[in-house]
Structure 1
Amino acid sequence: MNTGAQDPVVAALSSLVPNGVDRGQLTRESGRHLRWVAAGTATPPVVLVSGAGEVGLDWAVVLPSLAETARVIAYDRAGLGASDPTSRLTLDSQVRDLVALLDNVGPAVLVGHSWGGLLAQLAAFARPDHTLGLVLLDPFHEDTTAEVPLAVRVSSNLLFNAIPVLKVIGLFDRIAANMGRTLAERCTNDPEIQALVTEAYRASYRTSAQVATIRAENRLANACTREVRAARARSTAPDVPMRILTATRGKPPALRQRSGDLADETAAVFARGVHEVVPDSGHYIHKDQPAAVVEAVRAVLAQVDGKAP
């Protein structure tokens, strides 16, 4: 993916953010690059961590509002979007990349969705001195798998296993275009800007390697239970403001109940943790109820700045 004015993600987000966005990058092992887009100037920075298989562009609905009061950084994990792949994708490699980003941009508030919510927690455990606060949006928890109906688990595995094949035969590009249009329509009513967002989303999944990373991340989520439990057991949550938002739609009752219970448990680990249920929201809370997400991030920022208890 090109950088600067020719970068479709930069072009799309700059059309949504009054002062535009810029590209940043960090060189990791073997010379690979971890890349992000950033908008806004106020400190402290806010780092956005996307769900499994998603890219920084996934935050396009809330990024303009967040950039009004903070320096907002939305990064692409290794192998996705503009970031180079890693030789071996693991939970540890993903956490280390996020920690390296935190070390680069300075102490920050972490905002994580789904799988990104788990990564944000693990990065906070690993680098408490660089974590100023947390906002977790319907975060993935390793103990929810048992409550997912078997039929759903089987169908999901079949879908993710088929993704590389769909890319080869051209069907994935149609899926990406449809998802890009849906995202664009949530961002703006301007058809020209919608076209830019749609094209940027398609560009984020242009190669077969990018699409294969979607499958790899979802497989990683299904296989990380023991590793995550061990990390929780040996870690201490930093004393920082924390909000966890959970969805109300799209889950079977048992899974919804279990997710809520685990969210309560997660919030209780943090001295200043708060769990809030977001009405009329599906899993992608930042798209379904963006105002709730912006409010939660600003509440945490206010606590970081000492403006609220």
Structure 2
Amino acid sequence: MTAARAKRPPEAAPRQDPGSARAFRVARAGGHVAGSVRGGGTPLLVLHGGPGLSDTSFLFADELEGWQTVRYTQRGVPPSSEQGPYTLEHHVADAVAVIDALGLQHVCVVGHSWGGHLAMHLAVSRPDRVLGLVLVDPFGATGDGGEAALATEMTARLPAGDAARADALDRRALAGFGSEAEALESMALFWRSYYANPAHAPAMPAGLRLSVSCYAESLTSMRHHLAQDTLARLAPTATCPVHVVVGGASPIPTSVGSATADLFPRGRLITVPGGGHLPWTERPGCLRAALENLRNELHADSLVPPHARQQCERAEPAV
């Protein structure tokens, strides 16, 4: 998987206190997206899973040390605006708006699950803004993205009664007329199935929110683009490194990640033995290592000099 390496100018900025965090709020048509910037180092845009879910990237925050992390809650759930539209195009535009508002020219991107799929669309839509990707057990770029296999395996990992209840509630949510409480109940039942050993897995974190309309519309948009082969057509034109990290025991088959990595000229598959859909929980440090590998590859390209730092310059104050 080789291709001509596009050179972008190195970027540097003053040091920041790694422990400090600054909230931001970026205006969007009819609303806003809200998030925070923390630490110093190469800018890293963090795209959480979902869709329609609260920002869950706190679950792997320890793996992101040494980067200037830019996290935000995707549209649909507070503290960002709850109203749509929720298409992939709008999600990509929100991500670009965050990058613009913070005064960043280029970013690396890490995305988990749905966030990994969104990261691919960002990279092929705006290759001028993305230096490299780390995709953590993402929905894939071909076929149905692994959606059917994921649903089948997660159901198989549950007791029959729980599986039937979770599946029925999820179908209501996908149809767009289930309640938030029902959708969260379904997610809570399914949650342990994300792990390699569901019997010993932790429960879903408390306090999460889920927008049923965002969940349904975003997945409909993803399915539309998969049917149109959007990523399959555009991924071969991408010049940035793409590291696809998959759990060897994830409910998403490793073949989904392999097929995704193969689409990108600089794609690389990293399988985490014994890892589930949240592989950093079973194998702490695996995401940190993947990010460091990406940084080293960019350093070799002279895109990110050693210890390069770029400051986030602009953002609306949090209110």
Using the size of structure 2 for normalisation, the TM-score is 0.68
1:27 aligns to 2:27 (yes or no) = yes
Q: Would the aligned equivalents of 1:63 and 1:72 in 2 still touch at CA under 8 Å?
A: no
What is the match of residue 88 of structure 2? 91
Q: 1:179 to 1:59 in 2, by over 3 A?
A: farther
Counterpart of 2:241 in structure 1 is: 241
* 3-state SS, counterpart of residue 253 of structure 2: helix
Distance of 2:78 and 2:34 partners within structure 1: 9
| Aligned partner letter, 2:286 | A
User: Is 1:115–1:221's contact at 8 Å kept on the other side of the alignment?
Assistant: no
CA pair 173-125 structure 1, distance change in 2 beyond 3 A? closer
How many angstroms apart in 2 are the aligned matches of 1:179 and 1:82? 25
Structure 2: distance between partners of 1:238 and 1:69: 26
Provide the residue aligned with 1:226 in structure 2.
227
The answer to whether structure 1 residue 69 and structure 2 residue 66 are counterparts is yes
Equivalent pairs, count: 263
Q: CA deviation at 1:52?
A: 2.1
Q: Matches of residues 117-266 of structure 1 in structure 2 within 5 Å?
A: 117-141=116-140, 142-144=142-144, 148=148, 152=152, 158-163=168-173, 165=178, 167=180, 202=207, 204-205=208-209, 210-227=211-228, 229-234=229-234, 237-251=237-251, 256=253, 258-266=255-263
Instruction: Name the structure where helix makes up a greater proportion of residues.
Output: 1
Contact between 1:250 and 1:283, CA under 8 Å: does it hold in 2? yes
* CA distance in structure 1 between the partners assigned to 2:119 and 2:274 by the alignment: 25
Deviation at 1:308, TM superposition (A): 9.1
TM-fit CA distance, 1:166: 5.1
- The corresponding residue for 2:290 is 296
C-alpha separation in 2, matches of 1:257 and 1:235: 19
**2:268 is equivalent to residue 274 of structure 1:** yes
SS at match of 1:125: helix
Give matches, 1:95-114, under 5 Å.
95-105=92-102, 106=104, 107-114=106-113
Provide the secondary structure at the position in 1 that maps to 2:59: coil
Contact 1:48 1:56 in 2 (8 A): no
Shift of the alpha carbon at 1:135? 0.3
In 2, are the aligned partners of 1:52 and 1:217 still within 8 Å (CA)?
no
Same amino acid, percent of matched pairs: 21
With 153-162 and 290-299 compared, the bigger mean Cα shift is at 153-162
Q: Is residue 55–residue 81 contact of structure 1 (8 Å, CA) maintained in 2?
A: no
Distance 1:308 1:280 in 2: 34
| Secondary structure of the structure 1 residue equivalent to 2:80 | coil
- Letter of the 1:238 partner, please give it: A
Deviation at 1:49, TM superposition (A): 0.9
Which piece of structure 1 moves more, 126-135 or 87-96?
87-96
Judging changes above 3 Å, is the alpha-carbon distance between structure 1 residues 150 and 84 closer, same or farther for their aligned structure 2 residues?
closer
Verify the 8 A CA contact 1:53 1:80 in the aligned structure 2: no
1:283 equivalent in structure 2: 277
Q: How many Å separate the matches in 2 of 1:92 and 1:166?
A: 25
Q: Which digits, 9 at most, give the CA deviation of each residue in 1:100-136, with x for residues without a partner?
A: 2233341110111122112111111121121111101
Relative to structure 1, the CA distance from residue 219 to residue 230 in structure 2 (aligned partners, 3 Å threshold; closer, same or farther) is closer
1:270 partner letter: P
**Take 1:301 and 1:50, find their aligned partners in 2: how far apart are those partners?**
20
**Alpha carbons of 1:287 and 1:211: their partners in 2 closer, same or farther (altered >3 Å)?**
farther
Residue 211 of structure 2: SS of its match in structure 1? helix
Distance 1:238 1:214, change over 3 A: same
Output the amino acid matched with 1:217.
S
Q: Secondary structure at the match of 1:128?
A: coil
* Larger relative contact order (Cα-Cα within 8 Å, sequence gap ≥ 6): 2
C-alpha deviation, 1:288, in angstroms:
3.4
Amino acid at match of 2:40: T
What is the distance in 2 between the residues matched to 1:244 and 1:308?
A: 22
- Structure 1 residues 134-143 or 78-87, which shifts more? 78-87
TM-score (norm 1): 0.70
User: Matches of 1:150 and 1:241 in 2, distance apart?
Assistant: 26
Q: Write the letter of the residue equivalent to 1:303.
A: E
Q: Cα gap change, 1:239/1:147 in structure 2, threshold over 3 Å: closer, same or farther?
A: closer
Amino acid at match of 2:279: I
User: Compared with structure 1, are the counterparts of its residues 149 and 18 closer, same or farther at alpha carbon in structure 2 (3 Å cutoff)?
Assistant: closer
Partner of 1:184 in structure 2? none
* More deviation, 78-87/142-151: 142-151
Structure 1 contact 47–72 (Cα < 8 Å) conserved: yes
Unaligned runs of 5+ in 1: 1-16, 181-196
What letter is aligned with 1:259? V
